[in-house]
Structure 1
């Protein structure tokens, strides 16, 4: 019987993984005696899945997040934590996120580090530890903060925010894959990864950044390898004697993205901190000038002048600014910095590297004020059949030539999904036949990825309607909507027709958006 002390609790975990699912179910059963607890296994057939997940997180007082080597790479777990994080800012701190590390002490990587670093967490060691964990969670829900383990896992080092760490007990790979260890296909790849696929544009980016006073734009849909190429570009810049300041624009909070003055000030403060210089932002902000002028003076007359060495300002996820009212001011400012190299020597010290998944030309009114159509523009494309074949060999050839063709037909060279398929079969998590048979099911190897897309689409009806029209008629009448879907990595254009990016998406969304 529930009473006024009853709380709504949402459990976020990685399905079909041990011990994640077992511990999550035990906690669910124990907490359900006193509280209203939601876990995705309680949904009945026919439930509008994505809508239900969002509703349950919105209503929750607490979100328990089980963190393991696998769950920290799960798109759905990350999406659920991200949703809870943003809701808590607009719902007076609800839901409260309660991280539980399942025998996992690695530093969190971005974006989880941005959401969870600084939050107290609980630690589960093994099955004998479950009763203690349940008791600690019950006490926390009643008002006692979670304990922090004796030694808190270190934060991700600067410049490695997106780096992934491999789990401690990977499935045993095929002997033919030795001596190279397999790598989980999640997040940004290390610059020396044996599984990184070099494309022709890589050489262009690396050669360009070795020059002085350059602007590079890396474009492409989600999960194309943009951030991985950026990391390789950064390493080349460092080897060339340049200092790099990497700003990931996803870390700007909503307050900054709705207030131009706050955004420009935070931008300058953040850049100053990355360079480990004295913050003089307040001094420059007292000038009776506009935000772009203040920011330009601060960077040109203070940071670059005092720093005195070549600097690369690398900006990831800059599309975060595209929906703001001050986007033209900010990007116009970057364009002016690019142009100033021709007349003011100090600006030749500054390289700009921008990464975006959205087509910027649709969102900037005056192209003469855009930094995206000058310098070196790199547009990433899907893997070719030859590149997939090469990557298959690096994984120990788990797919034969005919199966490689089937894989290309299903995934269309999608870099992340290709790597996920090769890794999953090479590590013997499933057979090739099982991969193809269960490709579009929620329990299949692509289920987590597909559910994440569905979750992010469900409350954006104009995108849902357009996606369904593309599947049914190969048509998208609104260019703005097309570029949003393309930026999300869901569609592509061939001539005058618009298609789902791959057959996997066409089959899955035809069933779930209908």
Structure 2
């Protein structure tokens, strides 16, 4: 009898129906956990964490709903980490009528693994046979005949096809709320940081720009618009999300630098010369630098803007310092009269974590040179502007109530307005259910609470903030702020918004 954990997006169909069909069939021979089996009042964070850690098999249902669920992504990440550390649970991905390439970071976790495809109830018996074979030593079929082949590490909209943002765009209420926004989205709110980034990437000589901000502030969307602006200025662009590199790359520095170079060449349509450069008797970061200057930059007749997203992925890796030291040397090389080719390169870095926590040698950091822009929450005026673009689903009084609840949180404000404007939820219901686990923001809130459960220091720090308005440990405060959980007003540290205060006071048992 094996222990089986089923991860899925609750309250949507066909995901929930398939999950319950799997439970009914598998529990005959196995011990199966699904979140609906938890008792009322049970501490669900601890239970889910324990069940994933004890599981022999982790079945994840992949659909357009689940791949954009923060909670589902967190469960998959934990299962992937446990499997890498000790070989179990075995991940069994099931695509639920889902034929698209997986978004990062799920692509790095699941793309190398065989999967099964379920199109409808008629496929359930066949799927159960495939799962049974996989659980007795086989693998899922994993054919690629009906699913898009893995794409190179590029943004969802190919950089080559990006166009500069239009003054206006058609209003589409079904636009995705997750990930980087389309560069022509009518719902993109321009902030002061936009002009700084646009000006930097448009100037003739190369520069280095760092975009900082907490989670879900719109950093990746700003990067995409910056790359679109660079294309409009007749520059070439390349984009890499470091979150998309797979586990072998992130554990083998030589492999990482090779794939970094290969990805750049692929995006720019250049011949692959990585093998030749890796014959040179020098370190990987030096080979990478020579590849950039001697092959990439010399082959281009126009400047290049390199956008690097999710760079905090490397902060705690052993070779992270070497990589960031390399970027710093590229920045410094622009000043050398002997290597003018480096003046063609601009670098835009995106991070949600304070780099100085991990890069102690300031001379090896690319984050304290060039320009830095920090994204903050929306202002009252910007939330009002977003409401108008959605067709004004909220009255002026309701706008004030929303701002008091969310404090201008970009992602949550967009989600709230979308739910009301699309008719998915009445505004009265949204406010009434806001801080509930199954409410409009439940997936987001449960994800944050689950993350805290695995980091006792941060959990204790947030409890201090809620009880006393302080966070004595500077390192903990910076991590909480980077996670988007707290903000500072003078000497007082507060939850980022009223929604977080309500939700975490109850879940962390703060009196």
TM-score, normalized by length of structure 2?
0.89
Q: CA deviation at 1:32?
A: 0.5
Spell out the pairing of 1:85-484 with structure 2 (5 A cutoff). 85-92=80-87, 94-148=88-142, 151-155=145-149, 157-158=151-152, 160-162=154-156, 180-212=172-204, 213-253=206-246, 256-257=249-250, 260-281=253-274, 283-285=276-278, 287-343=280-336, 344-484=339-479
- Cα pair distance change 1:265/1:139, threshold 3 Å: closer
Q: CA deviation at 1:391?
A: 1.1
**Whole-angstrom distance in 2 between the partners of 1:147 and 1:292:** 39
**Whole-angstrom distance in 2 between the partners of 1:303 and 1:132:** 49
**Whole-angstrom distance in 2 between the partners of 1:121 and 1:486:** 37
Q: CA deviation at 1:105?
A: 2.7
Aligned to 2:348, the other structure's residue is in SS state: strand
**Whole-angstrom distance in 1 between the partners of 2:37 and 2:103:** 30
Correspondence for 2:161:
none
Instruction: Give the total of aligned pairs.
Output: 495
Q: CA deviation at 1:154?
A: 1.0
Q: CA deviation at 1:14?
A: 0.7
**Whole-angstrom distance in 1 between the partners of 2:248 and 2:172:** 46
Aligned to 2:23, the other structure's residue is in SS state: helix
Q: CA deviation at 1:79?
A: 1.4
Q: Is contact 2:95-2:117 (8 Å) kept?
A: yes
**Whole-angstrom distance in 1 between the partners of 2:502 and 2:230:** 43
Using the TM superposition, name which of 259-268 and 314-323 deviates more. Answer: 259-268
Q: CA deviation at 1:289?
A: 4.2
**Whole-angstrom distance in 1 between the partners of 2:77 and 2:222:** 25
- Cα pair distance change 1:281/1:401, threshold 3 Å: same
Could you give the per-residue CA deviations for residues 346-373 of structure 1, whole angstroms, max 9, x where no partner exists? Answer: 1011111100001223433233442222
**Whole-angstrom distance in 1 between the partners of 2:444 and 2:464:** 22
Could you give the per-residue CA deviations for residues 102-142 of structure 1, whole angstroms, max 9, x where no partner exists? Answer: 23333332222333334333333333443443344334333
- Give structure 2 stretches of 5+ with no counterpart: 159-169
- Give structure 1 stretches of 5+ with no counterpart: 1-5, 165-177
- Cα pair distance change 1:148/1:462, threshold 3 Å: closer
- Cα pair distance change 1:156/1:270, threshold 3 Å: closer
Using the TM superposition, name which of 467-476 and 335-344 deviates more. Answer: 335-344
- Cα pair distance change 1:51/1:230, threshold 3 Å: same
Q: CA deviation at 1:189?
A: 0.9
Q: Is contact 1:328-1:365 (8 Å) kept?
A: no
Aligned to 1:312, the other structure's residue is in SS state: strand
**Whole-angstrom distance in 2 between the partners of 1:207 and 1:110:** 29
Pairwise CA RMSD:
2.5
Aligned to 1:471, the other structure's residue is in SS state: helix
